Chains A and B, each alone.
Chain A
Amino acid sequence: MTRPAIAWEHVSVVLDGVPVVHDATLEVEAGSWLSLIGPNGAGKTTLVRTLGGSVHHTGRIEVRGHDGRSLSVRERSRELALVPQHPVIPPGIGVFDYVLLGRVPHQGLRCSPSLVDRRRTVAVLQRLDLDGFADRRVDTLSGGERQRVVLARALVQDTPLLVLDEPTAALDVGHQLEVLELIADIRTERELTVVTTVHDLTVAGQFADQVAIMAGGRVVAVGAPAVVLTPEQIGAHWGVDAICHVDDDGAVTVSVQRRRERRRSADTPAAASLTTRSGSGSRGPGSEGGPEPSNAPRPRPADPDRAPAGDAAPATTTQEDDRR
C-alpha cells in the first residue's frame, strides 16, 4: 500500500472541556474516498476539522507525508480544500466572487486575484454547469445550486485532497445524488482523495471505497462498505434495525425499519426499548465496550437519516452552530 494521503494517529480533541474525539487513528489511502459515518455527536465533524489546522488536538496528523504541525496555514491550504457543513456565505456576495475566494491560497499577501485565478474560476464554473449563475447572488440560489457553488470554491483551490463535511445534508434525494456523482466524476478526473462525513448510510455505502464508523468520539470500525455496513454495527451504534443489501460490486444499500418491539407493542416506553437493544449484537472490531465518554449521544429510537438538516446533537453540533 502506498503512503496514506491523510493519517490521524492517536488524535484526541477536547472542546470547551468536553472530550470530543478520543485517540482516533485512521488512514485514508491516496486517491480513495473515505466516508465517516456515525450518530450525531460522534465527533465526525471535529475529526475532519482537525485537518483545517484551527482545532487544537493531541496526537499526530499527517497530510500527504507532511506532519500537520509543520505545515504553515498557507501550505496546508494548497494541500487540502475543506468544505464545512454550514459554509458562511457573505451576505450579498456574487457566485463568481465567492468561488474566486477559493484561489486565495495561490495569491500573495494582499489576496489580489490574477487573470489565471479568474480563468480557473470560469473553468470550474463551466465544469459544474454554473456559468449561467456567475452574476447571481449566492444567497438567492436553491440548496442544490448553492452546494455546487461551495463545491466549486473548493475545486478552484486545486488541492489533491478534498474534505467535505455533510455535503448533502440539506438536499433532496435527487440533488444529493447529483452532487455526489459530480464529486465522484471530478475525483476520477483529478485523481483526488476525498473524505466526507455523511449521515445517510446508503450514500456512504454507494460512494465510498472505505467507511469508518465513529461513535462516542472513537473510530470503532473501518473497512470496505460491505464489511462495515452490517445490521449488527448499525444496531449497535444507531440503535435501529437495518437491512443491508450488498450489490455484486460491493456497494451497500441500507434501509432502516421501525424497531420490532415498538411495532409489537406501541405503549412500550422508549427507555425500555433502549435497554433491550443495548445488549444486542455488538460484535464490531472497535472498542465500544469501553466506558462511554460523558458526551456520548444517547441512541435515539428514531431514524437519524430522517432528522432535519442541521439538527442539534448535544456536544459537537452546538459548537458548530456557534461558529456560524
Chain B
Amino acid sequence: MALATPAPAARRAAADHVGDLPDTTRLRAGWLLAGLGAVALATVVGVVSGPVGLPIGGTVAELADHLPFVDVDSGLTDAQRAIIWDIRAPRVVLGLLVGALLAGAGAGYQGVFRNPLADPFLLGIAAGAGLGATLAIVGGWGDGAGAFDAVPLAAFVGALVAVGVAATLSGRPGRTGTPATLILAGVAVASFFTAVQTYVQQRHADTLRQVYSWILGTLSTSGWDEVLVLVPYVAVCGAVLLAAIGPLDVLAVGDDEATSLGVRPARIRALVLVAASLATAAAVAVSGLIGFVGLIVPHAVRQVAGITHRRVVPLSMLFGGAFLALADVLARTVQSPAELPIGVITAFIGAPFFLFILRSHPVAS
C-alpha cells in the first residue's frame, strides 16, 4: 500500500522536510514558559498589592525562599510575613486555581460543543452549580470546608443538570445544536436556575447576605481552607482535560468524521463534559459566579497560540489563573478599602469581549 515507492533521495527529502514544518500540533516550551511567567507575575503583583505596602524585592525574595532548592533571606518583618502567607498568598493561589478551573472548563466546553462561545457562565452551567450550592448552603448540608463537602458536590449535580438541559434543548439527540441555539438555550437555562435560586434565597432571609455576596463572585478567603478544597478538583479535572486534548482535536471535524477516524465522540464528549462541569462546580462552590473567564482566556490563547487543544487547554489553565488573580487585584484595589465583587470586574472586561467574538464569528450560520 506504499505510495509509488519514492526514490531514496526523495524519501530523505520528505523526512528532512518534517523538521521544517511548523510544528503546530504540539505545545512548545516557549508557550509553556510564557504561561508559567504569567502565573509568576500575577502571583507577585497579587501579593504585593493591598492596603499595606510591601517591598517588591523583599516579597519576591520571600516567595522565592519557599520554592524548592531556593534559600534567600527576604529581610521582611514577621508582621509582613504574616500578611503575605496568611492573607494574601491564599487569596492569590485561590484566584489562580479558580481561574485555571474556569478557563480549562471553558476550553473543554468549546471543544466538545465545537462552539467558540461556549462558556460555563453563558451556558447556564454556573447558574446550575450556583443553585446546587445555594440549596446546600440554605439546607445547612455543609459548611464549604473540605473537598467532599456537600456544597461543591451539590454544585456539581446542579452543573451536570444544567449542561444536560442546555445541550438537549439546543439540539436533537446525539447532535449538538448550532452555536447560536446552544447559547440561547444556555440563556434560558441560566434564567430559570437563577430564578429558582433567587426564590430559595428569599425564602431563607437568614442566609441572604451570605449567599448574595457569594453569587456575585468573591475570592475572599479565611486562609488556606478554600484552597485545600480546590486542590483535588484541580488535579482530577486538569488530568482528565489534558488527557483528552488529542481526541478533542479529532472531534473538531464533527461526529461522523471523528467516528470514521476511529474515535468514539460520545465517550470523549461525556468524559470532557463531566470533567469541565466538575471544574465549574468546584470553582462556583468556592468563589461564586465569576463569568467570562472561560470565554476570554481560551479565545485569546487560540488567537495567539493556535487552535489545537494541545495548546489551548494547558495554556488556558495557566493564563486563566493569572488573569483571575490579576482581576482580583483590581477588585481589591479599585474601591479600597471596600471590595468589588470579582464577577463585576470579569463581566466588565468579558461582556464587550463577548460582543467582539460574536461579531467576528458568523455564529448565526
Contacts and interface: CB of A to CB of B under 8 A. Distances in A.
Interface string A79-99: 011101001111111101100
A70 interface: no
Given A111-B246, A189-B4, A323 B254 contact: yes
Contacts of A49: 256
Contacts of B262: 73-74, 76-78, 104-105
Interface stretch (A114-122, A175-183, A269-277): A114-122
A110 interface: yes
A72 B15 CA distance: 32
B257 A322 contact: no
Interface residues of B, number: 40
A112 interface: yes
Interface in A19-36: none
A113 interface: yes
Interface stretch (B17-25, B39-47, B61-69, B94-102): B17-25
B1 A119 contact: no
B1 A53 contact: no
Given A102-B261, A111-B246, A112-B246, A93 B307 contact: yes
- Leading 3 A-B pairs by shortest Cβ distance: A111-B246, A77-B262, A88-B254
A196 to B, nearest CB: 16
Interface stretch (A124-132, A209-217, A230-238): A124-132
Contact of B256 (A52, A100, A160): A52
B243 A92 contact: no
B254 A110 contact: no
19 contacts: A49-B256, A52-B259, A54-B255, A73-B264, A78-B262, A88-B252, A88-B254, A92-B306, A104-B261, A104-B262, A105-B262, A107-B246, A109-B247, A110-B247, A122-B21, A126-B17, A189-B3, A191-B1, A323-B175
A123 interface: yes
A54 B253 contact: no
Main SS at interface, chain B? loop
Interface string B293-308: 0000000001000111
A122 B17 contact: yes
Contact of B307 (A90, A126, A135, A191): A90
Given A77-B261, A82-B260, A93 B25 contact: no
Contacts of A122: 14-15, 17-18, 21
Interface of B: 1-4, 6, 10-11, 14-15, 17-18, 21-22, 24-25, 114, 172, 175, 243, 245-247, 249-250, 252-257, 259-264, 302, 306-308
Q: Which of B11, B22, B253, B261 has the most CB of A within 10 A?
A: B261
A84 B256 contact: yes
Nearest to A88: B254
Interface in A289-324: 322-324
Interface string A136-157: 0000000000000000000001
A107 B247 CA distance: 11
A73 B259 contact: yes
Interface residues of A, number: 54
A158 interface: yes
Contacts of A262: none
Contacts of A69: none
Given A111-B246, A126-B14, A189-B3, A97 B260 contact: no
B256 A93 contact: no
Given A52-B259, A97-B25, A118 B18 contact: yes
B255 A135 contact: no
Contacts of A94: 22, 24
Contacts of A258: none
